[in-house]
Structure 1
Amino acid sequence: MGIERSSLVERARVHAALGDAARLAIVDALAVGDAAPGELGALLEMPTNLVAHHLKVLQAAGLVVRDRSEGDHRRTYVRLVPQTLAMLQGPSLTGVPRVVFVCMHNSARSQLAAAIWARRSQVPAVSAGTRPAERVHPRAVKVARRRGLHPGRWRPAQIADVVKPKDLVIAVCDVAYEQLPAEARPQVHWSVPDPAPADTDAAFEAAYDEIAGRIDRLAPLVPPDQAKRTRS
């Protein structure tokens, strides 16, 4: 889960290059297609000397490159470098065979999280609890069905019976995260409020939305385990 400093420095350089409204406008324009510097200036109503300055900064940051026209060889076109833009998402978590969502009772948040993850990612996901309840909370089942999930087979499980050494463990509640010893503490912690004390549909819907939003941000950073897919 550590992030190399070289990666941080590189990403900071890209963010700095984009920290100007004019340069961001150029990047937005190039997201649609390539353009000559003069075309960018006309499109953005920007003087040519200013376009040249901003393109120089963007090129130094590795965000754009110039290619000479195969037609009029005196003309150049500017295009985006998608790989550099992709760096802004942050580093990927590679080599993750499975994701395990954990909360205290494994009766609501972690069950919802595993089901939502299954819709967003090819990486398998399961859930567990530090002190599993006897059953899944009825309101969690209700919300799940309303959102198109299938909770019929959900059963609370003990974390010790579920987690394997290479799993990416995500705690979706503060209690589970704090109760586990340091050596067994989940790598990722999401402080999602427990909807059970309020015991309202609105509280469970809010928990669902919070978890779904976090999964939408994390899932693209956890690519499927290529080695495992090759073996299968």
Structure 2
Amino acid sequence: MSTEYPSVRARARIHAALGDPARLAIVDTLALGDASPGEIAHALDMPTNLVAHHVKVLAETELVTRTRSEADRRRTYLRLNPDALATLAPPQLAPAGRVVFVCTHNSARSQLAAALWRDRTGRPVACAGTRPAARVHPRAVTVAHRHGLTLDPTRTAHLRDVAVDETDLVVAVCDNAYEDLTGPARPRLHWSVPDPVRVDTDAAFEAAYTDLAGRVDRLATALPDEPGAAAR
């Protein structure tokens, strides 16, 4: 994932503007509707000259724009610019034809990640291990079923069997896979999820599931669909 420096600088300026509690309060006040500077001052119990100062800072970052009332041309309204707020989100990844989750044994973390991705996005997905076990761990199957997901206890795969290519997004969900893999299968993302098999308790597998679920949801918003990917 590449991030253009000017984009980072612009986002940093917006973050800096929002770092003042008074300016953040003004943005919150404008979240659902427009208001005049006087109305802002009244709502926040703030001197009008201080409101003017903060509005100037917000306007310089294009978070807030000023418009004239169509009724009383002497009155100014402040409007929040949602597009400026939207730029605060991290930039999206390049489209991928498939997400491939990889761990060492393909018996727990990569299996759960793939099941979550399939369930929550419906997009193409695969999972594999660098040294796959003979079976999926029973506690992984149990925690998956507890959350409405299905894992095939007998289905594990070696990374070479899933035919990774340059269109795939490879995600290492364990430190060993991330540090060991090179070449075309080198992971583009690394999720340092603790191995629940080491602890081998229901709580450890539940913690791994919760960690992976949050990461899958965040990845889903950052990874656009590739045209025609669903047909693969």
Is the TM value for this pair above 0.5?
yes
1:32 maps to what in 2?
32
Inter-partner Cα distance in structure 2 for 1:16 and 1:155: 50
What corresponds to 1:206 in structure 2?
207
Cα shift at 1:171? 0.5
State the secondary structure of the residue aligned to 1:148.
coil
Shift of 1:144: 0.5
Contact 1:97–1:124 (CA under 8 A) maintained in structure 2: yes
Superposition deviation, residue 70 in structure 1: 2.4
- Structure 2 regions of 5+ residues with no counterpart? none
Q: What is the match of residue 75 of structure 1? A: 75
Could you say what secondary structure the match of 1:78 adopts? strand
**1:123–1:223 CA contact under 8 A, matched in 2:** no
Question: Match for residue 58 of structure 1?
Answer: 58
* Partner Cα distance (2:231, 2:61) in 1: 39
Q: Name which of structure 1's ranges 124-133 and 113-122 shifts more when overlaid on structure 2.
A: 113-122
CA gap of 1:154–1:64, structure 2 versus 1, over 3 A, is: farther
Shift of the 65–123 alpha-carbon distance from structure 1 to 2, 3 Å rule, reads farther
User: Would the aligned equivalents of 2:136 and 2:152 in 1 still touch at CA under 8 Å?
Assistant: no
1:100 maps to 100
Match of 1:67, as an amino acid? T
Stretches of structure 1 that go unaligned for 5 or more consecutive residues are none
* Alpha carbons of structure 1 residues 58 and 154: separation in structure 2 relative to 1, 3 Å: farther
Aligned to 1:187: 188
Q: How does 1:136-147 map to 2 (within 5 A)?
A: 136-147=136-147
Alignment map for 1:106-145 (pairs within 5 Å): 106-145=106-145
Do the aligned partners of residues 130 and 229 (structure 1) sit closer, same or farther apart at CA in structure 2, a change above 3 Å counting? closer
- Sequence identity, in percent? 61
One-letter amino acid of the structure 1 residue matched with residue 211 of structure 2: E
Q: How much has 1:122 moved relative to structure 2? A: 5.0
What does residue range 212-227 of structure 1 map to in structure 2 within 5 Å?
Answer: 212-225=213-226, 227=227
Provide closer, same or farther for how the CA distance between residues 112 and 229 of structure 1 changes in structure 2, counting only shifts above 3 A: closer
SS of the residue aligned with 2:171? strand
Query: Does the 8 Å contact 2:35/2:78 carry over to 1?
Result: yes
Alpha carbons of structure 1 residues 122 and 14: separation in structure 2 relative to 1, 3 Å: farther
Residues 5, 45 of structure 1: CA spacing in aligned structure 2 closer, same or farther, 3 A cutoff?
same
Q: TM-score, normalised by structure 1?
A: 0.91
Query: What is the rounded CA distance, in whole Å, between the counterparts of 1:126 and 1:182 in structure 2?
Result: 18
Aligned 8 A contact 1:122 1:224 in 2:
no
Counterpart of 2:13, as a letter, is: R
Runs of 4+ in structure 1 off by over 6 angstroms are 229-232
Question: Which of 192-201 and 34-43 deviates more?
Answer: 34-43
Secondary structure in 1 aligned to 2:72?
coil
1:173-214 alpha-carbon deviations (Å, 9 max, x no partner): 001111112653201101100000111100000101111122
SS of the equivalent of 1:88 reads coil
* Residue 157 of structure 1 pairs with residue 157 of structure 2: yes
Shift in Å, 1:118? 2.7
Kept in 2, the 8 Å contact 1:37–1:51? The answer is yes
Query: Matched residues in 2 for 1:71 and 1:52: separation?
Result: 22
Q: Distance in 2 between matches of 1:23 and 1:97?
A: 42
1:122, 1:43 → 2: CA distance? 46
